[in-house]
Structure 1
Amino acid sequence: MKYVIVGGVAGGATAAARIRRNTEKAEIILFEKGEHISYANCGLPYYIGGVIEERDRLFVQTPAAFGKRFNIDVRTRSEVTAVDVAAKQVTVRKADGSVYTESYDKLLLSPGASPVRPPLSGIDLPGIFTLRNVSDTDRIKGYMQQHNVKRAVIVGGGFIGLEMAENLHHAGAEVAVVEMADQVMGPIDYSMAALVHEHLLQKGVKLYLKQAVEGFEKNGEEGLTVHFKSGIKLDAELVLLSIGVRPETRLASEAGLKIGEARGIYVNEYLQTSDESVYAVGDAIEFPHPLTGKPWLNYLAGPANRQARIVADNMVFGNKVKYEGAIGTSIAKVFDQTVASTGLPAKRLKQMEIPYLSATIHSSSHAGYYPGASQMDIKITFSPEDGKLYGAQIVGYDGVDKRIDEYALTIKRGGTVYDLVCLEHAYAPPFSSAKDPVAISGYVAGNILSGKMTPLYWRELQQADLSKVTLVDVRTADEFALGGIKGAVNIPLDDLRQRMQEIPTDKPVYLYCGVGLRGYLASNILKDNGYKDVRNLIGGLKTYRAAVAPLPAPGTGNTGGTSCCSSSSFTESTSACECKPETEVKVIKVDACGIQCPGPILKLKKSMETLVPGERLEVRATDAGFPRDAEAWCRTTGNRFISSASEGGVYKVMVEKATPCAVEASRPAVEEHGKTFILFSDDLDKTLATFVLANGAAATGKKVTIFFTFWGLNAIKKVNKPKVKKDIFGKMFGMMLPSDSLQLKLSKMNMLGIGAKMMRYLMRSKGIDSLESLRQQAIDNGVEFIACQMSMDVMGVKREELLDNVTVGGVATYMDRAEQANVNLFI
């Protein structure tokens, strides 16, 4: 039996060796158009960056050694240019240009895939490369040795592109990544990619998302200019095209073999093409996805080697072993981070109109009390019907590979989220926690499926009309002071039971905390106390902040250092503030690694209390949001944020304690520019004017207060008021006064209520917000509502009858607000 194999990398070489292990009697010929076989394709970026120093370490086998060990006729620099399936022969062109034919009994095609090179102007200029094989690597490496590459532009933000970004950065180049999509790392969802964006910016990589390259031109002796369609221009000495690859199907197509709907070589479950004597494996084939049943292209080395082993057995022993398909399990190192994915992300499920739910957790790689624990962000997708696991994504630092493989095995076995909690994990503090992150994700998903927790996803919150819900931040007051989501009220989890009356029961309640756990606990409390529509923000503030934060424009502070001398937002910095020589400062070091938010910031606060002014505190934490929180804490307390740096998933922050005088001096002077309104009337038109003016004033960012007195109380009464006990005079006032804002009349032309109805009709037809909508907008904008205690007593109005956000005060309360305002209106 004579076996001919086309392609000597990954699938081809593995199949050849397996065929020989199956039989000593066969003749095996391996053709490779390149010079090398069986090399470490995935290691190429690391050789370019100098991480792998010796080129020879890239080669698993040399052609000569491989041929001798397995008794295989290895013919490198020999390109198969045609296949004649009827004659069962291939046409081969040698390096010297000569052509010959070779017969076969069975043929294996493993031609791989080729990089996409779009027909852009200037794309063939020197200094523009693709990376697919050793020859490409040698060209890039040689170019970098001969030219002073200070700036590199990578077109495409996929796995290879980001690995090259790291390695070119390691080689000393300033790196910019250009991507047409709104995110890097296409196989993962946006919310997870946003965490990668943060890390890339911290490392000084410039990101140009939603940008398309239009062309290239030469710039000086060694330079290039990259032109975007948007008009942006980037100067560089090297450009790497990492736009993607396409399957090499020319041989198969010209031979008359079937090409599938995904434009790869069609194979059946035995990896046999439309010709019974020809098989195919690797990047060039398409195969049904195990979850969707639809053909797809999978450019990964692991599945290619799996296919090679199966196809070798089927070619030798007949079609006995079926290939189960691949789900796309991949992993990449992106600077300090590890990014991994398996199965189907939410965006692809949505694209394919497959119903799904998702759960996001932020956990530690191992027990937090053991040194070196780092944060791990995990998102899983699953069926809302039976919990079948569809996919998983992880962004972390340590232990990511172990967990993604567990998810992949569960998916390939058709498992559910309930199977995740049944996995038996090896546990010791240096390696995991008693509740492994994989199990925790299963527990969270189970709570969602059972209805114990109703999820709120970040996109839903971003698009929500907050005037129709109550948004509650259940973090501590200290955390809330560092920033939260606009429109939220802060009721810490531990105070929730005592302050539950502050949360209305007649509209949905949205809860959030740092990572989602406290929000879940709060939702249990509210649901068990009669609240019907309670939702918890999945992934908490960490996921939401990362997903909604706009990326800084490249060149506007996303690569510089952050220090006490700088007003830029947090980015990586490895140098301390130069305001004061380091030799003059005492530095206290604190380890907050492995502690979840709010632990690091609380540890910072407590440690600062032990310092004397002028001393510095260096805090190490594994919470990626800690540097941002620390800087915000310094702004609110008047202490000095010196610097921040990150390495290996550990974030180091330096803070200096300020003197009391310096703290006071750092605080902005209070400007008495607030606005106060006294609403004395319950006329519809005057009440409308009050809320319009209040909203306009609040839009300027100033403090706004409305003091409701006498008839004005009618504007803030609830529609559905609870029954309250009143004396005879209170009952009389209740019968004579409007029961709520919907009953208010016009000051003129009321016409027995017709005028008020006409006014509301005209406002609605012209798209003007109603009184009730304007009132809610005022609440959302932070306008303070104060009801006059004396007026309430006289008119028999009880606190329970008024809106939940209203506070009760007297003349002293009003005068205090008025003294801090430069506008006071009586309406």
Structure 2
Amino acid sequence: MAKVIIVGGVAGGATVATRLRRLGEQHEIILFERDEFISFANCGLPYYIGNVIKDRQRLIVESVENMHNKFNIDVRNFSEVLDIDRKRKIVSVKNVKTGATYEETYDFIVLSPGAQPIVPPTPGLAEAKNVFTLRNIPDTDNIKAYLNEKTPQTAVVIGGGFIGIEMAENLVSRCATTIIDLADQILAPLDFEMAKLAQNEMEAHGIRFYLNDLVSEFRDEGHTLILKSGNILHADIVILGIGVKPENELAIKAGLKLGPRGHILTTKSLQALDGATGEPLPDIYAIGDAIEVYDYLDDTKTAIALAWPANRQGRLVADRIAGKDVIYNGSLGSSVVKVFDLVVASTGNNEKTLQRKKMPYRFAYASRGNHAGYYPGASDIFFKLLFDGTTGKILGAQAIGGELTEKRIDVIATAIRGGLTVADLPDIQLCYAPPYSSAKDPVNILGYIASNLMDGTFDYVRIDDIDAIAKSGALVIDARSKLEYDLSHIDGAINIPLETVRSRLKELPEKKETPIYVYCNIGHSAYIFIQVLRSYGYTKLYDLAGGLKLYKAMKPLDSHTPNIPLKNPEINEVKPMNSQEIKLKLSIDACGLQCPGPIMETYKAINSINEGEIVQIEATDRGFIKDIAMWCANTGNTLMKSEHDGKIYRAIVAKGGQKASGIQVANKGNSTTIVLFSGDMDKAMAAMIIGQGSAAMGKDVTIFCTFWGLNLLRREQKIKVKKSFIESMFGAIMPRGPKKMGISKMNFGGAGAGMMKGVMKKKNVILLDKQLKNAMDAGVKFIACTMSMDIMGIHREEVIDNVDFAGVATYSAESDKAGLTLFI
């Protein structure tokens, strides 16, 4: 029988005690805890303060009485271990209520003291009456009581780590909240650009930030904060969330070896080390936030204050005391935090850490839906994967998005633990059903992208570099639709929509080694664009890492997206204003549609109502709120209200009511003409998308179908009309209507077109026949060339309804007054 003393409860200490008891009844186990509560949900404390968790009792995982009764453990709360006499194997203990001290012998001692909040020596802090730290339930009670009694109107959170972020989220509904952090970003486990996405979400919910700054002085008993930058803030309540430092006073007294930041050093068996000799101490173990651990990836030393390592270490120490030969293999740092409606998760090393270690690495970005796009409630997850560019070893991953984001990071953490490489990720067979995932899970997609980067299929250009590249005169191509390009684009970029690339190759440099930089919203269309160019011999091709989505997050407003208020200032004077108080003419569900789908649905809805009538549009596209503001400003409609409600982005638009600002373009005129010469599905798609986009921007659009382009306008069913032999031959060979059209490259007798349609359906992209109808509904005018019809033996009876018939003179007249003319 062994007598085991455990110093500290909560995650680590309580786990040692209960696991050891489950392994046998023979041990005498004493658990000392300085505070009242021996096992509580410290990660849930901010949510109790924010009234998300209503019942305080639910924070208490195990009471003193229950632990004693269930596990026969001698639990002594309100008891502080003051010293360890290693030679005599005795601890000195003080009852913090009575002040009485006594001694206890031990065979094994486990140190689980945890960490304490860092309190800086800032002038005026000691006199502050409104400054709080958050570590335990008494701290929580103090903060909650202050909020209820003082009803503060302004709050400042110092520190942008997990506690700071969670506290800010739970305070902002009660008072105006500001975060101050000395670093240039929040959430240190993330890389800068990923943290910026989280910061943008918090700013959208009203939280202000002062980064690269610190409080140099507190005045007025903590109500006035003087920042190093010179800014002065008023705060009714201040939360210190700068970080934590290890509780090491007892370890220092016991002569244990400490790391450079004061953490207790241990072996992989979690045995403490002698401070003088560095030798392991077989009867003293240390676990949890107070110890330095090994990085699982490369065995370097690190310190990670998280609940999972503390629980795992507690179990392993109990196993060793019971005679099992086990070790702790190191920490990955897998973590997750809620940031309003987003989930932010990471595992492994970030770029900063890899650079500090001088480890070679590459990175990959991906943006994919958390489940099938056609199932309601789909939202994007933005990923960053770090890996060894030679071996494919996975070094870390970060993700930010909606529900099930953390699941993907958990999968990658498991892959790291299993020694898998990026080449193995596509072969991980994960669960699939439309409400939960996609047939190709985002983890699989990350594996594909990383593998393509490794084998040279494509390469990245960083967001930090693209502006300088564009300004230098290099060729930067925006592969999105014209509508998207008009809403916002990178200065210096030209617009060649993906669907038109094959017909516009002559616009590209003749020298195949010319560097070409391509971007789209998330990188996928740009990748396809690059592969087309590669097949035509171009060799220096670069995809913008993270796409325009990440570019906009880093630079929220560019020269093509003016700072338009998301609510009409005059309407804002009406309080309160919600959807129920506005008389809606239409309510449009655009959820699940990719850009520019929600804008097109808005355009169609606005066209169907009268001046002054109001439409509400709901979408899940995160860029919708910004796009709708730009669209309204350009088209002369009024954005009355925009809001974000959970997964849904909602806008309320009144038809008319303001002067259109217009988007500055090089062309004159307010109409677009498109000559559709091609009979290929992909090229016709380009014509439909550009046509709808132009129509949505208020332009008059004419599509002149000639020669093979006439096939788009043919009826699907065979029409009995009298034809010559040659005309009959033409009719038999040519496709009847959009459903029968093939693609310009790799058609393979229609198989290629079928595969493309399958991909389009999965991606929630509207097929050509529906695009044609949508274009007509949007007011696009279609003209069938009568001369070409005559040559090819197409009769008017064979052409669909709502098509005009004319010759080149009519087209020329339309072209003369057009601001833009395209030939496809």
Per the alignment, residue 28 of structure 2 pairs with 27
CA deviations on 1:729-768 (whole Å, 9 max, x unpaired) are xxxxxxxxxxxxxxxxxxxxxxxxxxxxxxxxxxxxxxxx
Matched, 1:144 2:160: no
Q: Which residue number in structure 2 is paired with residue 246 of structure 1?
A: 245
Note the C-alpha offset of 1:375.
Answer: 1.7
Answer yes or no: is 1:374 the counterpart of 2:379: yes
* 1:360 maps to which of 365, 389, 392: 365
Which residue of 1 is the match for residue 302 of structure 2? 296
Deviations 1:763-821 (A, max 9, x none): xxxxxxxxxxxxxxxxxxxxxxxxxxxxxxxxxxxxxxxxxxxxxxxxxxxxx9xxxxx
TM-score relative to the length of structure 2: 0.76
* Alignment match, 1:794: none
Question: Which residue of structure 2 aligns with residue 156 of structure 1?
Answer: 159
Q: Which moved more, 1:534-543 or 1:504-513?
A: 504-513
Would you say 1:286 and 2:292 are equivalent positions? yes
Aligned residue number for residue 566 of structure 2 = 562
Instruction: For 1:264 and 1:636, locate their aligned partners in 2 and report how far apart those are by CA, in whole Å.
Output: 59
Change (3 A) 1:145 1:459: same
Q: Specify the alignment match of 2:77 in structure 1.
A: 76
1:350 CA displacement: 2.0
Which secondary structure state, in structure 1, belongs to the residue aligned with residue 217 of structure 2? strand
The structural deviation recorded for 1:75 is: 0.6
Aligned-partner SS, 2:466: helix
Which position in structure 2 is the counterpart of 1:131? Answer: 134
Q: Deviations over 1:172-218 (max 9, x none)?
A: 11111111112111111111111112211111111112211112112
1:807 corresponding residue in structure 2: none
CA deviation vs aligned residue, 1:293-337 (integer Å, no higher than 9, x gap): 21111100011101111110001215x011111110111111111
Change (3 A) 1:567 1:327: farther
- Tell me the equivalent position of 1:393: 398
**CA gap 1:670/1:160 in 2 versus in 1, 3 angstroms:** closer
Secondary structure in 2 matching 1:167: helix
- Provide closer, same or farther for how the CA distance between residues 389 and 658 of structure 1 changes in structure 2, counting only shifts above 3 A: same
- Which has the larger displacement, 605-614 or 649-658? 605-614
Q: 1:121 aligns with which of 116, 120, 123?
A: 123
Instruction: Give secondary structure in 2 for the equivalent of 1:596.
Output: coil
**Contact 2:486 / 2:663 at 8 angstroms: preserved in 1?**
no
Q: Which amino acid aligns with 2:301?
A: P
| Conserved? CA contact 1:247–1:264, under 8 Å | yes
For 2:385, give the aligned amino acid: I
Matched, 1:532 2:536: no
Alpha-carbon separation, structure 1, partners of 2:423 and 2:666 = 57
Corresponding residue of 1:227: 226
Aligned-partner Cα distance in 2 for 1:199–1:250: 40
> Matched residues in 2 for 1:357 and 1:603: separation?
40
Picking from 437, 451, 458, the partner of 1:453 is: 458
State the shift of 1:392 in Å: 1.1
Does residue 1:351 correspond to 2:356, yes or no? yes
Deviations 1:386-414 (A, max 9, x none): 21111111111211121121111111222
Shift of 1:154: 0.2
Q: Is the 8 A contact 2:467 2:490 kept in 1?
A: no
Aligned match of 1:40? 41
- Name the structure 1 match of 2:772: none
Question: Where in structure 2 are the equivalents of 1:647-662 lying within 5 Å?
Answer: 647-658=645-656
Q: 1:544 aligns with which of 551, 563, 568?
A: 551
Q: 1:511 aligns with which of 518, 521, 535?
A: 518
Once the two structures are TM-superposed, the CA of residue 443 in structure 1 deviates from its matched residue by: 1.2
Q: CA separation of 1:667/1:63 partners in 2, compared to 1, >3 Å: closer, same or farther?
A: same
Give the match's secondary structure for 2:40.
coil
The answer to whether the Cα contact below 8 Å between 1:561 and 1:574 also exists between their aligned partners in 2 is: no
Residue 434 of structure 1 pairs with residue 432 of structure 2: no
Number of the residue aligned with 2:314: 308
TM-score, reference length from structure 1 = 0.76
- C-alpha separation in 2, matches of 1:62 and 1:671: 73
Question: Residue 603 of structure 1: CA displacement?
Answer: 3.0
Query: Given the superposition, is the C-alpha separation of residues 470 and 668 from structure 1 closer, same or farther in structure 2, using an over 3 Å criterion?
Result: closer
- C-alpha offsets along residues 662-715 of structure 1, whole Å, 9 cap, x if unaligned? 656x55999999xxxxxxxxxxxxxxxxxxxxxxxxxxxxxxxxxxxxxxxxxx
**1:51 corresponds to which residue?**
52
Given that residues 563 and 576 in structure 1 are in contact (C-alpha distance below 8 angstroms), is that contact kept between their aligned partners in structure 2? Answer: no
**Residue identity in the other structure for 1:404:** I
Inter-partner Cα distance in structure 2 for 1:326 and 1:550? 39
C-alpha separation in 1, matches of 2:611 and 2:430: 48
- Report the CA distance between 1:505 and its aligned residue: 4.3
Q: 2:715 matched to which residue of 1?
A: none
- Residue of structure 2 equivalent to 1:168: 171
Could you say which residue in structure 1 is the equivalent of 2:11? 10
Q: Summarize the Cα distance change of 1:198–1:245 in structure 2 as closer, same or farther, 3 Å threshold.
A: same
Contact 1:151 1:235 in 2 (8 A): yes
Counterpart-to-counterpart distance in 1, 2:198 and 2:468: 23
* Distance across 2 between alignment mates of 1:379 and 1:537: 14
Matched with 1:267 is 266
Q: How does 1:343-742 map to 2 (within 5 A)?
A: 343-464=348-469, 466-506=471-511, 507-549=514-556, 562-565=566-569, 585-658=583-656
1:314 is matched by which residue type in structure 2? R
Alignment-mate amino acid for residue 244 of structure 1: G
- CA offset at residue 51 of structure 1? 1.1
Name the amino acid aligned to 1:508.
Answer: P
Take 1:147 and 1:489, find their aligned partners in 2: how far apart are those partners? 57
Distance 1:670 1:134 in 2: 61
Contact 2:634 2:663 in 1 (8 A): no
Contact 1:262 1:296 in 2 (8 A): no
Partner Cα separation in structure 2 for residue 50 and residue 548 of structure 1: 35
Q: Note if 1:328 corresponds to 2:333.
A: yes
| Change beyond 3 A, Cα 1:407–1:671 | closer
Alpha carbons 1:574, 1:643 under 8 Å: kept? no
SS in 2 for 1:484: coil
- Aligned equivalents of 2:131, 2:139: Cα separation in 1: 11
Q: Distance in 1 between matches of 2:167 and 2:336?
A: 14
Preserved CA contact (<8 Å) 1:563 1:577: no
Structure 2 SS opposite 1:277: strand
1:505/1:130 CA distance change after superposition, 3 Å: farther
Instruction: Say which SS state the counterpart of residue 322 (structure 1) adopts.
Output: coil
Describe the shift of the 1:672–1:517 C-alpha distance in structure 2 as closer, same or farther (beyond 3 A): closer
Choose the corresponding residue for 1:213, options 202, 212, 215. 215
Taking the aligned partners of 1:670 and 1:117, their CA distance within structure 2 comes to 56
Report the CA distance between 1:463 and its aligned residue. Answer: 4.5
Q: What residue ranges of structure 2 are gaps of 5+ in the alignment?
A: 274-280, 669-816, 818-824
**Partners in 1 of 2:12 and 2:663 — Cα distance?**
66
Contact 1:92/1:101 (CA < 8 Å) preserved in 2?
yes
* Alpha-carbon offset, residue 455 of structure 1: 1.4
Per-residue deviation, residues 35-89 of structure 1 (Å, max 9, x unmatched): 1111001010011111111111100111121112111111101111111212111
How far apart are residue 482 of structure 1 and its match? 0.3
Amino acid at match of 1:624: R
Query: Could you tell me whether the CA contact under 8 Å between 2:473 and 2:492 is conserved in 1?
Result: no
Q: Return the letter of the residue paired with 1:252.
A: A
| C-alpha distance 45-672 of structure 1, shift in aligned 2 (>3 A) | closer
Does the aligned pair in 1 maintain the 2:342–2:402 contact within 8 Å? yes
Number of aligned residue pairs: 653
Paired with 2:667 and 2:467, the residues of 1 have a C-alpha distance of 33
For residues 57 and 614 of structure 1, the distance between their equivalents in structure 2, rounded to whole angstroms, comes to 52
Q: For residues 199 and 287 of structure 1, do their structure 2 counterparts lie closer, same or farther at Cα, with a shift above 3 Å needed?
A: same
For residue 29 of structure 1, report the CA deviation from its aligned partner.
0.5
Letter of the 1:303 partner, please give it: P
What is the CA–CA distance in structure 1 between the aligned matches of 2:571 and 2:182, rounded to whole Å?
31
Q: CA deviation at 1:9?
A: 1.1
Instruction: Give unpaired runs (5+ residues) of structure 1.
Output: 552-556, 674-815, 817-827
